A and B are shown apart, each in its own frame.
Chain A
Amino acid sequence: MFTSISTWFDSAAEDGVTLAEAVLHAEVSETGVPAEDIMERIAGAIDVMRRAVEDGMTSSEKSPSGMTGGRARRLDNEGPRLLGDSFTALLARAIATLEVNARMGLIVAAPTAGAAGVVPGVLLTLQETRDWSDADLAKGMLVAGGVGAVIAERASISGAAGGCQAETGSAAAMCAAAVTFLEGGSPEQVSQAVALTIQGMLGLICDPVAGLVEIPCAYRNATAGVQSVAAAEMALAGLDFPIPVDEVIDVMGDVGRKMDVRYRETALGGLAATATGQRIAEEAGLQQLVQLQLKGRNRGEASARFGPS
């Protein structure tokens, strides 16, 4: 896949193909897998996303830890208050996916399990309001995949390596690009959408309570989805961001590398290491984790890396 947004967009322009087609061609030439098979696999992934959303919206089953389950359904039942149906649906779908994930349901890690709610929350919701066909959606997924691949190459998509900005931030950037592309935005606008998303999520830490992919992850998926739509809206209106997108992605990588290990998925800092976070971890039988949290907080050090990704 591409190592920068600029090489990807240049190559698409040179070949006279869309950004989505450029990703598809690159994948075919790198893997030897026929284009039809790739598109079929994307359709399959979209199908899994839909089923997870449906499951999460209809069931209130709790996760084994009891931390999540039922919130998406509640939000859906409560209905929209402030901004309308699609806003509430986006939030609920993102949370639904993470709730299904937490109770060992089937999801698509896009780009990770911890950020799996962002793509379905945003793209399945806008598909309805913007009238995209499934074929359109699949093209959007190619663009999203291209952005994720560049971020994985230049920065990181792993919370353990780069914090939550690397997980939900990457997912949001992927969606913003897909939305802008599907709404007819120019490649320049697509790159602005990515830059605008990431600039708003720089520095976000990964601090999962009890080391589990539940809290704050479910909520962060929902709000990352909102960031993504905000960025696409501004980019489509022609608002620019003066720092080129590849440089913005590099900043995300740099911030991730400099981020204290306590804020990189170890559950040794942030919300996880609060008194209440520790009590929840203890109740989940994770005394060893609590000991490390105390040590990490008191001495400002944490050599061990523990936690989900």
Chain B
Amino acid sequence: MMVRLFDILGPTMVGPSSSHTAGACRLGYVVQAILGGTPDKAEVGLHGSFAMTGEGHGTKRAVAGGLLGFQPDDPRLRDSLDRAAAAGLEVDFSVIDLGEAAHPNSARFTVRRGQDSVEIEGCSIGGGQIRIREIDGFPVDLSGSLPTLVVVADDVPGTVAQVSGMLADAGLNLATARVDRTSRGGKALMTLETDAPVPDELLADLSAQDWVHWIRNIRQLNA
């Protein structure tokens, strides 16, 4: 484990719980970042401790605020459910059981924005830190603590090399890279964490590749 100074002197956050409030907010935030903006409709299943003690910890407000693009230190989290309604975000919460193996603070999101939709599972692992575990059925392991590029591409040879090459040409250093695929010749999901944010021009260049189906740029969580 690599401990950073502001893991200890932070996060600066709206209370009361770093996992049930700050972590829940970050999950919502990363979900909207993966979707490409605040959803029109979000179904959120809360598992375990999220479901059980979430009410007193403002978990629903934190998730809704995150989906609106608020960070954990945003005072608007307090009335984010009203703000969501005003912003046209319809958010439904339910209690779900993801089984014994799931982290006790887990949530499953089905979110829609225009024609776009995505299903994401993630958990809040303590101290405000989160992990995204699954995107559209692909297993992933994202922390959101670094700028992250998520690419759904044709599962054909050379695509990983092309993406990493384009990142290198732009002077971006890769921190982690992971590739998962549904089946041979099907689609592959690349998740690439970089040391610096991916510039818009590079994102446009990547989007223009005919083997790229879907691409999302997740801004670093800075709180």
> Hey, which bits of chain A sit against chain B, CB under 8 A?
1, 23, 27, 30-32, 38, 41-42, 44-45, 48, 63-65, 100-114, 116, 141-142, 144-145, 148-149, 152-153, 157-158, 160-161, 174, 210-214, 267, 284-286, 288-289, 303-309
Contact = CB atoms under 8 A, between A and B. Distances in A.
A211 B53 contact: yes
Interface in B58-89: 58, 61, 73, 75, 77-78
28 contacts: A1-B2, A1-B4, A30-B4, A45-B12, A103-B16, A104-B78, A106-B73, A106-B75, A108-B9, A108-B10, A108-B12, A111-B9, A112-B18, A142-B5, A152-B8, A157-B8, A210-B53, A211-B56, A213-B16, A267-B53, A284-B55, A288-B52, A289-B53, A304-B104, A305-B49, A308-B16, A308-B19, A308-B57
B77 A104 contact: yes
A284 B9 contact: no
Given A45-B12, A211-B56, 19 more contacts: A1-B2, A64-B56, A102-B15, A104-B77, A108-B10, A108-B11, A109-B12, A109-B128, A110-B9, A113-B13, A145-B9, A212-B16, A212-B56, A212-B57, A213-B15, A306-B48, A306-B49, A306-B104, A309-B126
Contact of A111 (B53, B73, B127): B127
A30 B6 CA distance: 12
Contact of B19 (A23, A64, A304, A309): A309
Contact of B16 (A113, A152, A158): A113
Contacts of B55: 64, 284-285
A284 B56 contact: yes
Contacts of B13: 106-109, 113
Nearest to A101: B15
B18 A109 contact: yes
Q: Which of A210, A211, A214 has the most CB of B within 10 A?
A: A211
Given A152-B1, A306-B52, A114 B9 contact: no
Interface in B96-131: 100, 104, 126-128
A27 B18 CA distance: 22
Contacts of A41: 6
Nearest to B104: A305
A111 B55 CA distance: 23
B52 A107 contact: no
A288 B95 CA distance: 12
B22 interface: yes
B53 A212 contact: yes
A174 B22 CA distance: 22
Contacts of B56: 64-65, 210-212, 284, 286
Contacts of B6: 41
Contacts of A111: 7-9, 127
Contacts of B31: none
B127 A158 contact: yes
A141 to B, nearest CB: 6
B14 to A, nearest CB: 5
B26 interface: no
B1 A308 contact: no
Given A106-B73, A304-B48, A305-B104, A113 B8 contact: no
A100 B100 CA distance: 34
Contact of B5 (A38, A109, A116, A161): A38
Sorted nearest first, the 5 A-B pairs with minimum C-beta distance are A101-B15, A148-B8, A211-B53, A308-B17, A306-B49
A44 B12 contact: yes
B195 interface: yes
Contacts of A211: 49, 52-53, 56
A1 B1 CA distance: 10
A157 to B, nearest CB: 7
Contacts of A104: 14-16, 21, 58, 61, 77-78
Contact of A102 (B16, B22, B49): B16
